[in-house]
A = this chain, B = another copy of it.
């Protein structure tokens, strides 16, 4: 089995190191990760600049590359150019901080896993719910290995795409696993306005998570209640429920278009 590891915290982050140590026993490990932290890059790709690629020297891996691009660039490059053989699984993480609810849209970690499936490999994103510098990633890495074993035992589908969040607790305090849906994450005081020494305005994005009522089966709720959340993800943004409704409303009002354009 060939596993590609990536992340959005950069190739030297502790989360990816923990995964190399844990997954090396069950697979050949390839690493293609950004040269520096790329949090918040979402599904960003580098189209107008060249992407530098340097071979890394990480212990315990088959091959590794430091990529001057986004997490999605890393997965695209590794899948189509660098690894050479078919990648059986992409694992993105372990992210240093949660990726819950609506926030997954902004997440480089989750977007890298989405890109894995686009490039043809089942993929997992894994995040630890803590920004503490001294966080221990070993339980999360160990849990990832077991999830992979379960998935392969069960026959992993090509379109497998899981977003896993682990509470920042010692293992004995974790109550179990919940298969969840994405919850809601909004922020208060999103921007702080400042002035530079020349009097120009600039803003820092920041703000705190707004405490909001959550669906009982949401990932946000599960992690708050000391459960590991596992959310199956897809990336078809079509809102099928509304296709028929818009067909009706555009037919009904087509004369508004027709007045100015004979062809419509």
Oligomeric state, in copies: 2
| B174 with A263: CB separation less than 8 A | yes
A91 touches B (CB below 8 Å): no
On chain A, the number of residues with a Cβ less than 8 Å from chain B's Cβ atoms is: 92
| B52 with A190: CB separation less than 8 A | no
Segment among A13-21, A74-82, A128-136 that sits at the interface with chain B: A74-82
A59 touches B (CB below 8 Å): no
| A111 with B42: CB separation less than 8 A | yes
| B243 with A233: CB separation less than 8 A | no
Given contacts A39-B48, A102-B118, contact A230 B250 (CB under 8 A): yes
A40 touches B (CB below 8 Å): yes
Q: Kindly list chain B residues whose C-beta atoms are within 8 Å of the C-beta of A42.
A: 41-45, 72, 111
Q: Kindly list chain B residues whose C-beta atoms are within 8 Å of the C-beta of A249.
A: 150-151, 154
> What separation, in Å, do the CA atoms of A230 and B264 have in the docked complex?
14
Q: Kindly list chain B residues whose C-beta atoms are within 8 Å of the C-beta of A228.
A: 264
| A256 with B44: CB separation less than 8 A | no
Ordered nearest first, which 3 A-B pairs have the shortest CB separation? A42-B43, A232-B242, A234-B239
Residue pairs across A and B with Cβ atoms less than 8 A apart, 25 shown, are A40-B44, A43-B105, A43-B111, A45-B205, A50-B203, A54-B200, A54-B201, A72-B106, A73-B205, A76-B191, A80-B191, A104-B237, A143-B257, A150-B249, A153-B256, A176-B264, A177-B250, A177-B264, A180-B243, A181-B240, A182-B236, A182-B237, A182-B238, A233-B239, A234-B237
Give me the interface of A with B, judged by CB distance under 8 Å: 37, 39-48, 50-54, 68, 70, 72-73, 76-77, 80-81, 102, 104-106, 111, 114, 118, 142-143, 146, 149-151, 153-154, 161-162, 171-177, 179-182, 190-191, 193-194, 200-205, 217, 228, 230-240, 242-243, 245-247, 249-250, 252-254, 256-257, 260-264
